[in-house]
Amino acid sequence: MANQQNVRDYSNLAKTIIEKVGGEKNVQSLNHCMTRLRFVLKDESVAETEQLKQNEGVLDVLQSGGQYQVIIGTHVEHVFNAVEKIRGQSHNIEEAGEEKNEKKGVSLLLDTISSIFLPLMAAMMGAGILKGILVMCTTLGWMSAESGTYAVLYAAADAFFYFLPLILAVTSARKFGANQFVSMAVAGAFLYPNLVSLHDAGTAISFLGIPVKLINYGSSVIPVIAAVYVLSKLEKFLNKIMPQLIKGIFVPVLCIVIMVPASLLAIGPLTSMLGDTVAAGYTALYQLMPPVAGLILGVLWPILVIFGAHWGLIPIVMNNFAVYGYDTLLPVTTGTNFAMAGAAFAVFLKTKDRTLKEFAGSSSFSAIIGGVTEPAIYGVNLKFKKPFYIACISTGLGGIIVGLAGAQFPAMFTTSLLTLPAIAVLKGGIAMVIAAIIGFLCAFVGTYFFGFNDRMLEKNQ
């Protein structure tokens, strides 16, 4: 009976959200991340944003990066499914092939990046955490790296990252409006075992007399996204000029015949070179002054998150994994979740308002145990401003220590109390644990003594 009530509640909330964003006809596309519904609206001006913010199931609403973001919380998938059920569309499908995207510049870039990477995040985090657990088990001697158990579990953890080009082919096709399975066929050529073996053996090959630069594309990001983008343009062109009677057969054939050689001869090598340059440029800047980089990134990261602008850095992170096998950008943000939890926990202890106390306590728990910070950020810290600023500074202080230690992530991680043991055994892991402790304690002490009192409640009524 309780489950039925939950479904009715999500259905009602979904109807309200659709109504307040301007109705079904105003929704161009919809995705979701761990806590947010991410709409692309045809006209954001008709959305009733302030009224939507007042709904009990909505934490906040942001308009950023060309997206209309409705912040829900950890149960966002249930709300998303309810919205999609009302819209009568399939789960998580982009309508990019039919839409006219008028966004430009940074908005277009952030929308493209988030649309491609958002659907991957749950699996990516899961695989990354499993990698960290395996590192911990082998480092502490709990498991032999030569055992069959390790081999199976490592395959489970690493397969996602190795076959990332195939996965990105699907989400890129959704975004650019290309055929998903033709896109996978093109991406599959990047990882085809015979070509990988020729690369490993150092064998030189050519295509129609043109030398092919063989590259290991496992875990790569930029080449497949670029290839699918070009494929989408080619596919649309061929569909326009090809007679209806034969296009169903010849368009896929021509796309594969043209795009696979083009990808291996030009798109792949050029974008791989671009990726290497980006990685080298970021590494050079980071290594110039690691503690300063740690401070700046640590302070700015929560601010970037609230606007969704952190997605602009995700391709750099993924490219670092592909080029170096590790990343140094995300480790400096380790203290973020703990700082947001510490600030919210201080509000929980200090306030006498029963409603705020309950919400601050649950949102602090969500941030520190589950690594989900949106309830703490939007429902507590950002609402009273000072707790959020203190949490940002606390994250930056931890970032200095992480930068000095040269800490590294071998894969994408979510940072929480549950993942700290796995993080501790990574390179610079102790520094990251210290950053988490500093983040929590500094944000807690700063908020408790200087950042919050119940008089602020009156100003926020």
Task: Give the number of other CB atoms < 10 A from CB of residue 162.
Answer: 13
Q: What pLDDT is recorded for position 103?
A: 56
Highest-scoring range by mean pLDDT, 116-120, 150-154, 371-375: 150-154
Question: Taking all residues of the chain, what is their mean pLDDT, rounded to a whole number?
Answer: 86
Q: How confident is the model at residue 391 (pLDDT cuts 50, 70, 90)?
A: very high
pLDDT at 205 over 50: yes
pLDDT tier for residue 184 given thresholds of 50, 70 and 90 = very high
Given 33, 137, 392, 442, the catalytic residue: 33
Mean pLDDT is lowest, of 8-12, 31-35, 155-159, 343-347, for: 8-12
Residue 344 has pLDDT above 60, yes or no: yes
Q: Lowest-pLDDT range, 25-29, 118-122, 398-402?
A: 118-122
Question: Quick check: 293 pLDDT over 50?
Answer: yes
Q: Are 320 and 281 in contact (CB under 8 A)?
A: no
Q: Where are the alpha helices (H) located in 308-419, listed in sequence order?
A: 314-324, 335-350, 354-365, 374-376, 382-384, 386-405
Contact status, residue 39 vs residue 83, Cβ threshold 8 Å: no
**Segment among 24-38, 102-116, 356-370, 427-441 with least mean pLDDT:** 102-116
Q: Which helix (H) or strand (E) holds 73?
A: none
Can you tell me the distance from the alpha carbon of 268 to that of 260, in angstroms, rounded to the nearest whole number?
Answer: 10
Report the alpha-carbon distance of residue 21 to residue 150 in Å, rounded.
49
Local confidence band at 414 (pLDDT 50, 70, 90 cut-offs): confident
Where residue 102 falls among pLDDT bands split at 50, 70, 90? low
User: What is the pLDDT averaged over residues 248-276?
Assistant: 92
pLDDT band at 442, cuts 50/70/90? very high
- Taking residues 322-337, what's their average pLDDT? 91
Are 390 and 400 a contacting pair, CB within 8 Å? no
Q: What is the pLDDT of residue 244?
A: 84
Q: Which has the minimum average pLDDT: 19-28, 195-204, 262-271, 308-317?
A: 308-317
Alpha-carbon distance of 23 to 190, in angstroms, equals 42
The residue-averaged pLDDT of 276-289 equals 86
- Tell me how far apart the alpha carbons of residues 248 and 258 are, in angstroms, rounded to a whole number: 16
Domains in the chain, please, with CATH?
2-90 (3.30.1360.60), 163-287 (no CATH), 290-459 (no CATH)
Phi/psi at 320 (nearest 5 deg)? -60, -40
What is the maximal distance between C-alpha atoms in the chain?
78
What is the enclosing helix (H) or strand (E) of 72? Answer: none
Residue 227's pLDDT band (boundaries 50, 70, 90)? Answer: very high
Question: Look-up: residue for tokens 């709300």?
Answer: 79
Pick left, alpha or beta for residue 177 (phi over 0 → left; psi -120 to 50 → alpha; otherwise beta). Answer: left
Q: What pLDDT, on the 0 to 100 scale, is given for residue 91?
A: 42
**Burial (CB count <10 Å: 0-12, 13-18, 19+), residue 276:** middle
280 pLDDT tier (thresholds 50, 70, 90): confident
Q: What percent of the chain has a predicted confidence (pLDDT) above 70?
A: 93
pLDDT for residue 351 is more than 90: yes
> Is 392 an active-site residue?
no
> Which whole number is the average pLDDT over 357-381?
87
144 vs 374, which has greater pLDDT? 144
Residue 322 scores a pLDDT above 80:
yes
Q: Which residue has the higher pLDDT, 66 or 91?
A: 66
Band of pLDDT at residue 5, cut at 50, 70 and 90 = very low
pLDDT for 90: 41
Joined tokens for residue 31: 């995705």
**In this predicted structure, what is the pLDDT of residue 440?**
97
The pLDDT of residue 34 is above 90: no
Where does the pLDDT of residue 55 fall: very low under 50, low under 70, confident under 90, or very high at 90 and above? confident
Instruction: Give the mean model confidence (pLDDT) for residues 266-277.
Output: 89
CA-to-CA separations, 239 to 99, 254, 341, 394, in angstroms, rounded: 17, 11, 53, 55
Confidence band for 97, pLDDT divided at 50, 70 and 90: very low
**What secondary structure letter does DSSP report for 32?**
E
Q: What is the mean pLDDT of residues 254-279?
A: 91
pLDDT at residue 388 greater than cutoff 90 = yes
- What share of the chain has pLDDT > 90, as a percent? 38
DSSP symbols for 283-337: HHHHHHSHHHHHHHHHHHHHHHHHHTGGGGTHHHHHHHHHHHS-BSTGGGGTHHH
Question: How confident is the model over 135-155, as a mean pLDDT?
Answer: 90
Measured between alpha carbons, how far is 72 from 366 in angstroms, rounded to an integer? Answer: 13
Asked if residue 248 has pLDDT above 70, the reply is yes
pLDDT at residue number 131? 85
Q: What is the pLDDT of residue 100?
A: 46
